[in-house]
A and B are shown apart, each in its own frame.
Chain A
């Protein structure tokens, strides 16, 4: 609708949502199909590189994913400790085998790539543009807008939850999970106010959408198809290179 949109050129942020979807699915597909650790490592490196090129501070990016990183480390350690096949990696430590290390690293890397690439996708793709693309692909616009509305509610619920917790603190109400009664009370004291806020917000947005004729017609004006830009070509060429590496690694039996 808006014609040629002046989107600032910031890595994946300025690529079309379609390119970002292809990239996300491609990365996930590669780490699921390829057994090469090198390929998974390169994929993870690419995700981080593109995050940096998209204006995301890598330190903050990793901090946001700290639970994912910790969980990946737990996966790695569990795998290393539980796998007994293969030759001992260090003679004095017989339970530390090369197979255990490789399978642990492979599993942790696969997990990391899937989660970091999904997080990157959510961070760089504008939901409005994504919904516009989905609607163009034939998805009914009511469902396309569900995506936007749900994303619209995420910061709202985060804020409401923070305010309610602060209100509890001010009133001297302590969250307790030590007894069923305490759990029940904590849930009631937290969720009732947040739920009330949420329902009030839903009512207001429903009125606002109705007041602007949402849902009146079967179709609505859809945003113009976004033009394919140089960044899309570059990103897809890079992805093709990664795909080629995965194929070569698969045929060559690379680790």
Chain B
């Protein structure tokens, strides 16, 4: 066995239950294992422990043992671990250490004191392996999300590991970027025989690679599939909440956009016109860097259009939930965060809001100590607390488990049921398809209309990764 955990138990300081709870598991050489499960189930902890970061960098109590090729991780020199195991974090941007693509790939081999010629060879080889040779002299800050992900993989491959650990590698990628990444992983496995351990919520596109699925919950293995066998219901779609094909609400117009044009370095939005009605959900999809978030920012007044106009009906109150919850958390306690900039509130009301967000008993807790899912619920609650009738949501499902996704979906549907409207930017195509009355696909060319028309147009263009069927069965 290439990787083995024996009675592994990991507990972080100040936590009342272990992140990994007596886990015994093994991964054979050349195998692909996908680890999935709800937020906080121990997926990332397991990867970080295998990579040797726990407890060396991240303090935690570790019982049991992890073996790589029969050698105990905690007794193995970390350089030897890094040469065998490459760990790629969720946000590729956050792990880039240098300012140029070429230097980034050379960073690891240089730390290993390899001769300059060898370093140069590895840089060439890895840039080619991930298909970014043309970006060699580019600044790392100029790369798109997908390019950064490829760079992160190239910089790890340059260490010549035999095992790759990838922590939610598609979380920040658009469907096209995610498909390219899965193709790359498939090639690495077939050409190099690499062992892949992938933490991923979106499993369907990995089916072709015939992975073994390891489902964790509360640090324990709860299900183990010998081969890919996903039940769409258990992996979670919204079942009865599916609304694909529902007619567009015919209420009053809430938002009108006419001939909108906006460009940064190059045009993002060109002559875009649409309207949004009370009770309507508009799904916005498209590739990374295409202008989806910019579209929300233009509506929120955070950007000024180059031409055209965004017009709100009178009485529209807007709530905007950003992609990363920590940007919108300001106060010392959850309760204060909910009451921020509000008049004196009845305590019962706060209790009601906390209950609505499944945050009961957490009113006195510092919001930044909450889990990512709880922080997301809190930021959505604080937006709803201001009673908006237009809700702008930027990638609300990233890093969220099924329970949280269901909660967010229920809030969206409740909001629309009360006559409010939602503009939902998301890479999660099946959810967008299920929720949105109309879809805006932002790229060249832009498509706007009911979901069937938009997906037909994308199918005709051969952009299958943006079709719901490509991701069917996820979650």
Closest to A132 in B: B103
Q: A221 and B95: CB pair below 8 A?
A: no
Interface positions of A from 118 to 150, Cβ below 8 Å from B? 126-128, 145, 148-149
Instruction: Report the minimum CB–CB distance from A143 to chain B (whole Å).
Output: 15
Which of A47-55, A80-88, A170-178, A244-252 faces chain B? Answer: A170-178
A196 to B327, CA, bound (A): 9
**A169-B302, A216-B78 given as contacts; is B95 within 8 A of A207 (CB)?**
yes
Q: A205 and B94: CB pair below 8 A?
A: yes
Which residues of B have CB within 8 Å of A201? 94
Q: B97 and A172: CB pair below 8 A?
A: no
Which residues of B have CB within 8 Å of A127? 99
Interface positions of B from 80 to 130, Cβ below 8 Å from A? 82-83, 86-87, 89, 91, 94-100, 102-103, 106-116, 119-120, 123
Q: A212 and B302: CB pair below 8 A?
A: no
Closest to B392 in A: A170
Which residues of A have CB within 8 Å of B382? 171
Q: A208 and B95: CB pair below 8 A?
A: yes
B408 within 8 A of partner (CB): no
The 0/1 profile, CB within 8 Å of A marked 1, for residues 350-389 of chain B is 0000000000000000001000000000000010001000
**A217-B113, A221-B113 given as contacts; is B94 within 8 A of A210 (CB)?**
no
Which residues of A have CB within 8 Å of B155? 212
A194 to B94, CA, bound (A): 15
B328 within 8 A of partner (CB): yes
Q: A213 and B79: CB pair below 8 A?
A: yes
Which residues of B have CB within 8 Å of A172? 341, 386
Determine which residue in B51, B87, B98, B159 has the highest number of CB atoms from chain A within 10 A of its CB, and name it. Answer: B98
Instruction: Report the minimum CB–CB distance from A183 to chain B (whole Å).
Output: 15
A207 to B79, CA, bound (A): 13
How many Cβ-Cβ contacts under 8 Å join chain A to chain B? 150
Contact of B113 among A155, A210, A219 (CB under 8 A): A219
Interface positions of B from 45 to 64, Cβ below 8 Å from A? 48, 51, 53, 56-57
Query: Is chain A's interface secondary structure helix, strand, loop, or mixed overall?
Result: helix
B190 within 8 A of partner (CB): no
A211 within 8 A of partner (CB): yes
Interface positions of B from 296 to 343, Cβ below 8 Å from A? 297, 300, 302, 318-320, 322, 324, 326-330, 340-341
Interface positions of A from 214 to 228, Cβ below 8 Å from B? 214-217, 219-224
Q: A213 and B98: CB pair below 8 A?
A: no
Q: A221 and B109: CB pair below 8 A?
A: yes
Which residues of A have CB within 8 Å of B113? 217, 219-221
Instruction: Report the minimum CB–CB distance from B99 to chain A (whole Å).
Output: 5
A207 to B91, CA, bound (A): 12
A200 within 8 A of partner (CB): yes
A160 to B97, CA, bound (A): 18
Closest to A170 in B: B320
A44 to B407, CA, bound (A): 62
Q: B82 and A209: CB pair below 8 A?
A: no
Interface positions of A from 157 to 211, Cβ below 8 Å from B? 160, 163-164, 166-173, 188-189, 192-193, 196-197, 200-201, 204-211
**A170-B300, A173-B330, A213-B78 given as contacts; is B97 within 8 A of A152 (CB)?**
yes
Closest to B297 in A: A166
Contact of B78 among A149, A188, A204, A210 (CB under 8 A): A210
A234 to B324, CA, bound (A): 50
Contact of A193 among B56, B86, B327 (CB under 8 A): B327
A3 within 8 A of partner (CB): yes
Which residues of B have CB within 8 Å of A221? 109-110, 112-116, 119
Instruction: Report the minimum CB–CB distance from A160 to chain B (whole Å).
Output: 8
Q: A148 and B110: CB pair below 8 A?
A: no
Q: B94 and A204: CB pair below 8 A?
A: yes
Q: A220 and B111: CB pair below 8 A?
A: yes
**A208-B89, A210-B53, A212-B107 given as contacts; is B95 within 8 A of A167 (CB)?**
no
Sort chain A's interface into a size bin: 35 or more
B137 within 8 A of partner (CB): yes
A169 to B83, CA, bound (A): 47
A214 to B106, CA, bound (A): 12
Q: A211 and B91: CB pair below 8 A?
A: no
B403 within 8 A of partner (CB): no
A240 within 8 A of partner (CB): no
B141 within 8 A of partner (CB): yes
Closest to B94 in A: A204
Determine which residue in B107, B141, B319, B329 has the highest number of CB atoms from chain A within 10 A of its CB, and name it. Answer: B107
**A149-B97, A152-B98, A206-B57 given as contacts; is B326 within 8 A of A6 (CB)?**
no
Q: B99 and A209: CB pair below 8 A?
A: no
Instruction: Report the minimum CB–CB distance from B166 to chain A (whole Å).
Output: 13
A15 to B99, CA, bound (A): 18
Instruction: Report the minimum CB–CB distance from A116 to chain B (whole Å).
Output: 23
A33 within 8 A of partner (CB): no
Which residues of A have CB within 8 Å of B86? 211
Q: A213 and B330: CB pair below 8 A?
A: no
A2 within 8 A of partner (CB): yes
Which residues of B have CB within 8 Å of A205? 94-95, 97
A91 to B166, CA, bound (A): 79
Q: B53 and A168: CB pair below 8 A?
A: no
Which residues of B have CB within 8 Å of A152? 96-99
Q: Which 8 A-B pairs have the closest CB atoms?
A: A208-B95, A212-B108, A204-B94, A213-B111, A221-B110, A189-B330, A1-B116, A167-B328
User: Can you pick out 7 interface pairs between chain A and chain B where the beta carbons lie within 8 Å of each other?
Assistant: A1-B110, A128-B103, A148-B97, A189-B330, A205-B97, A208-B95, A221-B116
Residues of A within 8 A of B (CB): 1-3, 6, 126-128, 145, 148-149, 151-152, 155, 160, 163-164, 166-173, 188-189, 192-193, 196-197, 200-201, 204-217, 219-224
Q: A127-B99, A221-B113 are in contact. List 11 more A-B contacts (CB 8 A).
A: A173-B330, A188-B330, A197-B326, A208-B96, A210-B57, A211-B156, A212-B108, A212-B155, A216-B112, A221-B114, A221-B115
